Chains A and B, each alone.
Chain A
Amino acid sequence: MPHMREIRDPVHGFIYRNIREEEIINTGIFQRLRRIKQLALASLVYPGALHTRFEHSLGVMHLASKLCNQLLENRDSEEQRWVRLAALLHDIGHGPFSHVSESVLDICYDKDKIKPKATEKIHEILACSLIRYSPELSRLISDDDRERIIGLLSGTWGDRILKDIVSGPLDADKLDYLLRDSYYCGVKYGIYDLDRLLSTFEQLDLKDGEDFTIAVSGDGIHSLEQFILAKYYMTTQVYRHKIRRRLYTFDNTEDHLKEWLGWNDELITSAICGEKTPNGYAKQMFTNLYTRKLHKRVFHQKLNPFEPLVRTKLLDNFEGYRSILESKVGKMLDVDPKLVIAHRYKIQSVREQSRNSEGSILIIRDDRSPVKFEEESTLFHSIDEAQKDEYLDFYAPVTFIDEKDKRRRNREYAESIRDMVEQALDSKSDQGSESHEGEGRIPNNA
C-alpha cells in the first residue's frame, strides 16, 4: 500500500490519503472547493454551517474506501483506486453556492452546444468536462484513469456495486453529508450509527456472480432505519428550512471552464454587492442576505386546499404562473413585486426517502433471500407509501412589529393570498389570467 498521510477530520477522525491523492487535493481546481460552502446560505439560519465542499469531498473518499474494504475484498485494487478518486472528485463541478448554482446552470446553459441525454444533468456534464480537460488533473491522473472516474461518476462505466458506492441509495456521499451537515449545523437529526451500518453492508449476488449490489444484512435493519430517518429529518428540518433558498451559460468550451473555476461564494458576493455593480435587484437582494435582512414567509400551504384544477396548474405550469403570482402578492402587500419569491416544492414520504431512482435498499434475510427494506422494517412498513406533500410558499420583504402582529398578519395573508392564487389560476387559459386587478391590498405595516 502506498505511504498514507493523515488529515484530522471532525466527523471521521483521521482521513488517510496517499501521495498522489494529496497532489490532487493540492491542485487549484480542488482547493477551490474550500471556498464553496456545502450548504450555501444555510449559515444564515445555522451559524455553524460554514463547512465546505472541500472537507465533504475528503469525507466521501474516506467512506468510499471503507465501503470498498467492506464490499470489494477480492476485487482488483485498481477499481478501489478509481472509486476513491471518483469519490474525491465527485463535487469538483460545484459552482458558487453549491446546489443553488445547479438550477441556474439548468436555465442558462448553451442549448445549441450542449445536448444532455435524458438522465444527464448539466452540472454533472460540467464536472466530467473539468475532470477530462483540467490541465492540473491531466498531469496527475492518466487519460485512462480519468475516463474511468468520469465513467463511474456518470454511471456509464463500472459494475453495479462500484456505481452503488459512488451513487446509490447508500452511497458514500449520503453517508458523509448527513453526519457532516448535522455536525456543523449543530442539529442531531442527521446522526446515525455509521460504523454499525457499514459493518452490516454485504454484496448481494443479483445474477449468478455477474452482477452485485449493496444490501444490508438482516441485523442491520435498525441502523438502516436510523439512517433513513436521518435523511428524512435533515431534508425537512435543514435542507428544506424555510429561510434557505452569466457565469451559468455553460457551453463546454475551455474559456467557460476557466471562467467557472475562477468563481466561488465570496467572489460572487463581492462582485454583486461591490461598488462597481450598479444598484439593482440582484445587488439589493444579495446585500440583504449578507446583512441578514431576510424575507419573511408570508404564505405556506399544502396544495390540497386549492381547487382541483388550480392544484394541477400549480403542479404542471408553476414557472408559467410564477411571475404573475409574485406580482399579485407584491401588489397585495404593497412591496416591490420583483422582490417577492414564490416557491413550490414537495417533501417525499419517509418511505420514499429509502429509495432513489435505482430502486430500493435490499435486506438479506438469514436464508440469503433479499427483501425490500421498507417491507422488512416494522417501523417503515407502517408508514404510508404515497404520503408525499406538495407545498406553495411565498416570501416577501415585510417587517413585523412583534409576534402578535406577525400571527395576525400571517392569518390575513394566508386567506388573501389563497384567494388571489385561486382567482389568478381559475381561468380556462393555461397561461393564467391578468384580469383580476381589483384584489384587496394589504399594506405592509397594517
Chain B
Amino acid sequence: MRERDVFLIMLNHAGGSMSSKTLIQKKGFFVDLFLNLGLNYRPHFYGPYSPDLDAAIGQCKALGFVEERVTEYGLSSNSGFEVKRFDYELTQDGRIVVEAIHARDSLFYSKVEECLKRLEQAGELDYVQLSIAAKAIYILKTHNKPMYQKEIAKEAKNFNWEITEPAVDKVIGFLKKLNLVTTNSPA
C-alpha cells in the first residue's frame, strides 16, 4: 500500500506522467531514504531496486490506475541486455486514487512531496545520474564509513555496477545539497 501510494504521488507530482522505470525506482530510493518507509531496496542491475515498488507499479497497471508505454531501443552493446524505456501515465481512475490518498493521509502525502521537491532543488538529475547517486549512497551506507570517490567506484564492482570516479564526482554536489554526504579536503 505504501509503495503504491509513493508511486502514485510521484506520478502526480510529476504532472501525471513519468518516463523510465529506472527514474521512478531511483526517486523512490531517495524518498525511502528520507522517510524510512522500508521499501526493501537491494542491489540490482541498474542500482538499488525495490521489488516492492516494482510490484506496486505492476499492480497499478493491472488495476487500471496507470497506463504503461514501452519504447524499445534494441540491444545494449555493453551489457547485452535489451534496452527498453517504460513510461507511465496516471489514468482518470488513478487520479481518483491519488485524491483519496491525499484525503486519507495528507501528512504522508506532503512528506513525499517535500522529498520530491528536495530532490528537484538539489538538481534535476537524469535517470543515469540519479542512478549513480543512488549507487554511491547505497555503497556508503553499506560500508558505513567515509570513502573517496575512487573507493566508491571500485566498490561498485562488487555489486556488479560499472561507475567511474568522474561519474561519482559529478553527483557529489547533488548529494551534498541533500545533506547525505559531507566532504573534507585532504590535509
Contacts and interface: CB of A to CB of B under 8 A. Distances in A.
Interface of A: 206-207, 303-304, 308-309, 311-312, 315-316, 346, 349, 352, 357, 359, 365, 369-372, 375, 381, 385-390, 430
Contact of A388 (B4, B62, B68, B82): B62
B16 to A, nearest CB: 15
Contacts of B154: none
Interface in B1-57: 1, 4, 44, 51, 57
Interface residues of A, dominant DSSP = mixed
B82 A390 contact: no
Interface string B92-107: 0110110010001000
B171 to A, nearest CB: 25
Given A304-B64, A346-B62, A386-B57, 19 more contacts: A303-B63, A304-B63, A308-B64, A308-B93, A308-B100, A309-B96, A312-B4, A315-B59, A316-B1, A349-B58, A369-B79, A369-B80, A371-B80, A371-B81, A385-B58, A386-B68, A389-B62, A390-B59, A430-B104
Contacts of A371: 80-81
B118 interface: no
Given A365-B80, A371-B81, A372-B81, A311 B63 contact: yes
Given A206-B160, A357-B51, A309 B62 contact: no
Q: Which are the 7 A-B pairs with shortest beta-carbon distances?
A: A386-B58, A308-B93, A386-B61, A308-B96, A316-B1, A369-B80, A311-B63
Contacts of B61: 386
Interface centre among B58, B61, B100, B160 (most CB of A within 10 A): B58
B84 to A, nearest CB: 9
A372 B76 CA distance: 13
Contact of B59 (A207, A369, A370, A388): A388
A311 B93 CA distance: 10
A240 B96 CA distance: 32
Given A308-B93, A309-B96, A375 B158 contact: no
A388 B58 contact: yes
B81 to A, nearest CB: 6
7 contacts: A304-B63, A308-B96, A308-B97, A369-B80, A375-B81, A386-B58, A389-B62
B65 interface: yes
A312 B100 contact: yes
A262 to B, nearest CB: 38
B100 A309 contact: yes
A244 B104 CA distance: 37
Contacts of A308: 63-65, 93-94, 96-97, 100
A371 B100 CA distance: 41
B75 to A, nearest CB: 9
Given A308-B93, A309-B100, A386-B68, A375 B62 contact: no
A312 B97 contact: yes
A381 B75 CA distance: 13
Interface footprint category on B = 20 to 34
Contacts of B65: 308
A309 B1 CA distance: 13
A375 B82 contact: yes
Contacts of B63: 303-304, 308, 311-312, 315, 390
Given A386-B57, A390-B63, A207 B158 contact: yes
Nearest to A347: B62
B151 to A, nearest CB: 18
Nearest to A369: B80
B81 A309 contact: no
Contacts of B44: 359
A386 B87 CA distance: 13
Given A365-B80, A375-B81, A386 B94 contact: no
Contacts of B93: 308, 311
A376 to B, nearest CB: 9
Nearest to A314: B63
B62 A386 contact: yes
A403 to B, nearest CB: 32
B18 to A, nearest CB: 15
A430 B63 CA distance: 19
Nearest to B97: A308
A246 B184 CA distance: 62
Contacts of B81: 371-372, 375
Given A207-B158, A365-B80, A390 B62 contact: yes
Contacts of A352: 58
Contacts of B64: 304, 308, 311
Nearest to B91: A308
A346 B63 CA distance: 11
Nearest to B49: A359
Given A308-B96, A309-B100, A312-B100, A387 B82 contact: no
A400 B57 CA distance: 41
A359 B59 CA distance: 18
Interface string B123-145: 00000000000000000000000
Contacts of A316: 1
A207 B61 CA distance: 36
Nearest to A385: B58
Nearest to B72: A381
Nearest to B40: A118
Nearest to A365: B80
A381 to B, nearest CB: 8
B173 to A, nearest CB: 32
Nearest to A374: B82
Interface-centre pick from A308, A365, A370, A390 (highest chain B CB count, 10 A): A308
Nearest to B86: A385
